[in-house]
Structure 1
Amino acid sequence: MEDRENSGRSYNKLIYQEESAADEQPIYSNQEKQQVSLTAVGPASSFNHYKLLTLSLAVLAAFLLAVDIGLGVYYYHLTDGSLVRDLAGEVAKLQASYNAAIHRREDAKEQLAREIGKQAVTRWELEHQTRRKEDYERVIEKTQIEIATLKSHIPMIKEGCRHCSPGWTFMNSLCYFFPFADTYSSVNWQQARDHCKRQGGDLAIVDSREKHLAITNLIHNYKDPKTWMYQSGFWIGLRDVEEEGRWKWLDGTRLNEGYWNDGEPNNEDNEDCAAVYPRSNPFKAWNDAPCNFNLKWICEKQPWAIG
């Protein structure tokens, strides 16, 4: 009996302990459930992530495969020769065009060189014709001046025929000789005087303004533009051989008024004889010169007496 009671007590105690244990268990059971739940959820989520990654890699692999296939097809067409032939044809066309352009450029250069040569010849010919034209203009101008001078001298020539020897000019009541012709060579001062004396006269004495202007006007009109000025002078009857700087005419009278050029007379190189030059300004027409210098000359003499 007691054993049954003891057994009943032990059973009740065991049940009570189990109930107590059951009452205390839910706390750990919830945690275990949460752990089970987390354990169950974690692997599933990772699986989905791996699945998405696998799908992406599959798509990328498919894309790369398509690109590879495209490149293969392109390479096939390239190695097939059609594209290469097309490119080779285009290159050949470009090369032909380039060669043609080079050829045209060379032809253009040759044509340009020929044209430049022709232009040079034309320019030289133009310069030659211009010089000839200028020479003709000078000749025409000189001829016109000579014609005008001769016309202006007609009255003097007419009077000269009445008063002077042939070839002499009548001016200011005197007869003058001017060796303008090229047949007369330049001579020194003494030779010029000797020539005048053989003609019955002497070197000109230019002792008045009227005589001087008439003489300078005449020699200026007959001036040869090709002759240097220092060679274009005419000896006159004036010198300072007796005393330097004391100029006298051949008749012994002293010079009162001279028409010297600027800086003259300067007696450079023993210049003791005077000459008149065809300068534009007649009041600067005289120079002193060495008496042994060769120049043209001017003679004068008295006219014939008319009865």
Structure 2
Amino acid sequence: MEETNGGFQTLVYEDDLHKEEYPPYHQSNRIQVSMFTMSPGRRHRLAAVCLALLAAVLLILNIGLGIHYNKLTDSHLSLDDTERISKELVDLQDTYKTAVETMKDARKQLDSEMSRQTQTNWELEHQTKRSNDYKSQIEKVTKEIETMKTRLSMLSDGCKHCPAGWILMNSVCYYFPLKSNEFKTWKESRDFCQLQEEIL
């Protein structure tokens, strides 16, 4: 070895020491390097121990991975389960779409029925009003007919109801004097009515 200016030593091959650039090979310049040497039997045993340790580590890793894989397969679904669930999901979506379409059709039918019901209710109210109007008219006409029947009977029997010279109007007998000498005072008229058993 040769020391350089930087304090480092440079390794020199032994054959190069005989060259001119290096001084003669002296015992004082030699540094003894010890190398670790091992017998072949010990090397085989060391390799066997290393391989055994490596095999033990691999075995532990395999066992750990196996346990982890079992946990994964237990906690996760298999491919068949996933396909079955996907099929059920598609079936549920189809059922939902069918239900929505059925509901839309039912709502349309309900709206149509409600529209028809509204029209029917309007017609019923209109007919009821007309019927009530007809009933009122019938009652009015019936009363008028009864009044006319009464008047007709009085007119036909007018002479029997009113004295001669009196006029029957609305079921009441009236006297209208035709001559001025037949006029009477109110007291005289009242006395005359009392004699006839009538009221003035």
More helix by share: 2
- Say which structure, 1 or 2, has more relative contact order (CA 8 Å, 6+ apart): 1
Q: Normalising by the residue count of structure 2, what TM-score does the alignment of the two structures yield? A: 0.47
Q: Normalising by the residue count of structure 1, what TM-score does the alignment of the two structures yield? A: 0.33
